Structure 1
């Protein structure tokens, strides 16, 4: 009898251990967690990039979205962007600890793209306080990154997409910092964009990426999720 009771107790313990959620699982999405950094001058929230984020949420059940809290000011730009970098570093590091099994998708438009790329690649642009790239313990939990109109767009990067062949108004001095995420990043810049292509003069091009590249961005995210 004692051996039977002991066996039943062991089975119950194993079943409980198997069904016990991991850290944060009860409050973590079963799909992906999309973090969006809005463009300069946009009201708090996802901004124009929210259209792309919402398409991803529709395609991946059980997903949710979070918007980066930062000033998003065009003037003064550097303090605003720097605050965004600090806030996003804290956000993704804490989320990777809270929900270690949930894949993160990072999206940024314009200044939000600059913030996102600096967080991942490290800040090396002239006039901005230097930061280091994120450790693999964090980047390994990021499945895909989509950037549109990044002022730190740097020519020759393997993740560059679009018709521009130049660099942005704040090009990276150490683009190798992006190597930890270059296989899962998509940075879009078209010729004439006044921010991601130095010498460009078109705000219309800068604001056109969701219309012209939104579907491609979603397809890219889905492909990264499936290969994660």
Structure 2
């Protein structure tokens, strides 16, 4: 019998920031800059979320013409359920990428996904095969390889260790560990996935604090990763994005964490997947 798994209600944890930014309009091209799609985490208010507000705006300072847009999806734990929210997000992200590629074929694009948003991001790029989730096909690879220059994800519940694009220090898998990580490796040169030991979602730990610290701990690295990819002459995307100025200091303050557990307080035992399934069922009931 493996360790007791905390209930899925923990996914209600969210990083909160003052005055969440709604972001730019999804319509229109970035032209000389970068078109960043920010996929927020569970429970974050609609908008570009903590990733877009902290990281995206720093990229925007350094790459002229950059737009930061929010993915329109529930990002919920219930009503709709977490599973339905992820499925909804995957469809929405695929549609947004495809429509933007058609409208703005010369744009360079980047995707940032935090927590549930990280799962949505990789399910879109790689397809999904995680426990509890229906198998879904990945978006057409040409739309990614020819247009997306950077994918930065944080606290991914589908995290698996020993993958070349992993960052951070976790050697444990996430609560919805991905089986098809090989499908993601074709994009290994543009993906970076940050996950640290103890993270309750991406590393099977028990710390929500670890889950909230990626933007303050790795902020400079994340911004540099995206900017370098956006301005690299080796990019296949025919855009004129170029660096401009320097980034303002990233806040040293850690986003506050508030936990909403709802009415589901029963823990589940057994294997990690069985535990998550049990907790999910408890919430549905």
Scaled to the shorter chain, the TM-score interval is: 0.7 to 0.9
Matched with 1:42 is: 44
Gapped runs of 5+ residues in structure 1? 1-26
Task: For 1:1-228, list aligned pairs within 5 A.
Answer: 27-29=28-30, 30-50=32-52, 51-75=54-78, 76-140=81-145, 141-198=147-204, 200-225=205-230, 226=232, 227-228=234-235
Contact 1:109 1:148 in 2 (8 A): yes
Cα drift, residue 180 of structure 1 = 2.5
SS in 1 for 2:197: coil
Cα drift, residue 210 of structure 1 = 0.4
- Cα deviation per residue 1:18-50 (whole Å; 9 max; x = unaligned)? xxxxxxxxx422211000000100100011102
- Cα deviation per residue 1:83-123 (whole Å; 9 max; x = unaligned)? 11111111111111111100100001000111001101110
Whole-Å Cα distance in 2 between the matches of residues 150 and 107 of structure 1?
A: 11
Cα drift, residue 143 of structure 1 = 0.4
- Cα deviation per residue 1:43-91 (whole Å; 9 max; x = unaligned)? 0001110210111111100111110011111232111111111111111
Larger Rg: 1
Q: TM-score normalised to the size of structure 2? A: 0.69
Higher helix share: 1
Whole-Å Cα distance in 2 between the matches of residues 218 and 117 of structure 1?
A: 20
SS in 1 for 2:218: helix
Cα drift, residue 212 of structure 1 = 0.4
Whole-Å Cα distance in 1 between the matches of residues 138 and 183 of structure 2?
A: 6
Matched with 1:9 is: none
Q: TM-score normalised to the size of structure 1? A: 0.86
Whole-Å Cα distance in 1 between the matches of residues 90 and 65 of structure 2?
A: 28
- Cα deviation per residue 1:152-191 (whole Å; 9 max; x = unaligned)? 1111111000010111000111111102211110000000
SS in 2 for 1:187: strand
Whole-Å Cα distance in 1 between the matches of residues 102 and 136 of structure 2?
A: 21
SS in 2 for 1:221: helix
Cα drift, residue 127 of structure 1 = 1.1
Cα drift, residue 217 of structure 1 = 0.5
How large is the Cα RMSD of the aligned pairs?
1.0
Whole-Å Cα distance in 2 between the matches of residues 73 and 133 of structure 1?
A: 22
Contact 1:152 1:196 in 2 (8 A): yes
SS in 2 for 1:183: coil
Whole-Å Cα distance in 1 between the matches of residues 102 and 182 of structure 2?
A: 26
Cα drift, residue 224 of structure 1 = 1.4
Whole-Å Cα distance in 1 between the matches of residues 103 and 159 of structure 2?
A: 31
